[in-house]
A and B are shown apart, each in its own frame.
Chain A
Amino acid sequence: MILEVRDLTKIFGGLKAIEEISFKVKRGIILSIIGPNGAGKTTLFNCLTGVLPSTKGHVLFEDEDITQRRPYEITEKGIARTFQNIRVFNSMTVLENVMIGQHSRSREGLLTAVLGTKKFQREEDEIRSKALEYLEFTGIQDYAATLAENLPYGDQKRLEIARALATEPELLLLDEPAAGMNPQETMALMELIKKIREWGKTVIIIEHDMKVVMGISDWIIVLDHGVKIAEGTPNEIQNNPYVIEAYLGKEEVDLLS
């Protein structure tokens, strides 16, 4: 198990955004988290990555309790994520964006940088060539020198994935990666996510596009009103009467099968 979530609860004021959610994630799979809007999916991501402190419960990553860790510490442990909305660093180039991702993995100190030593140069070159590899992996290497804000939408989403990968995570969390993409871009995205799994990484995605979810998931967790109502293989989920009632609806299931 790469990740274990135990009774995770987040309360905003009086509202329980997520309530006693528990699940385990096997290494090397693609797990999808689905559910209607307001089900607590993004809140769950925020609690896993330390963006929001959880009210109760525990998160174990590679058997280590990371519940109250700060976001940058959790990133160092090996969890990376993207957001629903695009959050690239607009005024930096595509390459610089990815190099920032390498930040936590390089040893360069302030002094060596100021003195411009050989060691600093070597490390910079190393970071740069690694960053280029991630750009190539996600297929946006041609844009390396472009300002991130000038990228087309779909490529900005790829850049976010490249930047997250640059932190060298074992577990990658993607929040609605296919949102706003056209069918071709969505297809390419599915291939990319599968490629990340083949590389040995574990991926958790939040996604509304059922073609994506059913097409790439090894396992699915369904949330509704902050509670886990089901989990299972895509096949099991499509035939689960609770899920059909709460979320999928009869037509969607007919359409998929």
Chain B
Amino acid sequence: MFLQQIINGLTVGGVYALIALGYTLVYGILELINFAHGEIYMIGAYLGIIFLGIFTAAGLTQYSLFLSLFLTFVMSVIVCSAYGFTVEKLAYKPLRNAPRLNPLISAIGVSIFLQNYVMLTQGATDKVFPHVIPVTTVEFLNVTMTSLQIFIIIASLLLMAGLHLFIMKTKTGKAMRAVAQDKTMASLLGINIDRIISVTFIVGSGLAAVAGLMVAMYYGLVNYSIGYIAGIKAFTAAVLGGIGSIPGAMVGGLVLGLIESLGASYLSSEYKDAYAFIVLILILLVKPTGLLGKSGENRP
């Protein structure tokens, strides 16, 4: 029972972590809570249904399921990244030097716009993810895992490891860290700030696309409002780990998933969604900087 809930928790937690990374990356660089980020995740879920539908109609899925799924992921990531890139250019960049509240309000506006845009174009009713993936279950130490759960856990962990390497090792990753610490100094060292901000949105949106697609596969149903609650929870995860901290978002997401799943099975599943916010309130009271966050003085 306990182990079973750990597996369930890691599955949801991995998804939270992927979305939370998008919040934390953008916050680290712009000190902006990108409230439209949950909508990008929702769009990722829809794109998964759309692209897999296209590939199935074209006969590719019947020919090779693996190739078809792979291309669905790739296309969703590309299109979602384009959404993230465009949102930044249209809604945040013009407000770069405005008071901090302005881009925040702009973000809420983008969120409302994207929700309604998807509702109008895709309809207000639930969409069903194509039933093309055969789900097998694996039994191990009294724990039942579906192949999908294993896939989600492994994919999330791999993406997190990849992001970590990207941030720590590559030139662009180093530049992102430099921009997060001191924009003026970074630009004087030859770093194009606008380019780094774009990369940040592209990477964050790509991760959200993968998260959205995996959730659509896992639950099988998608609607235009799923970005709201997932976004708030992932934001909670980012705050839990320490907003602005990349390892923090990873840890925060996984911890939040575990709390939810353990809380639902040992306390009450009625309050499943409330646990996230109880945790948020406790963190803000006890350690406002989050588990791995730095104190305010260290941030420029």
Contact = CB atoms under 8 A, between A and B. Distances in A.
B193 A72 contact: yes
Interface string A214-234: 000000000000000000000
Contact of B182 (A71, A87, A167): A87
A75 B174 contact: no
B1 interface: no
Contact of A81 (B172, B188, B191, B298): B188
B298 A72 contact: no
B198 to A, nearest CB: 11
Interface residues of A, number: 32
Interface in A125-152: 127
Contacts of A80: 188-189
B166 A114 contact: yes
Given A75-B189, A167-B189, A89 B177 contact: yes
B172 A87 contact: no
A15 interface: no
A7 to B, nearest CB: 24
A51 interface: yes
A65 B113 CA distance: 44
B172 A72 contact: no
Contacts of A70: 187
B243 to A, nearest CB: 16
Interface string B155-181: 000000000001001111011011001
B190 A96 contact: no
Interface string A80-98: 1101000101111000100
B184 interface: yes
Given A89-B181, A89-B182, A90-B298, A71 B187 contact: yes
A49 B188 contact: yes
Contact of B171 (A71, A75, A103): A103
A163 B189 contact: yes
Nearest to A106: B171
A110 B186 CA distance: 18
Interface string B184-203: 11111111110000010000
Interface in B136-172: 166, 169-172
Given A75-B188, A100-B178, A167-B189, 4 more contacts: A75-B187, A81-B188, A105-B190, A110-B199
9 smallest CB-CB distances across A and B, nearest first, come from: A104-B190, A71-B187, A75-B190, A113-B170, A87-B185, A72-B187, A72-B192, A89-B181, A100-B178
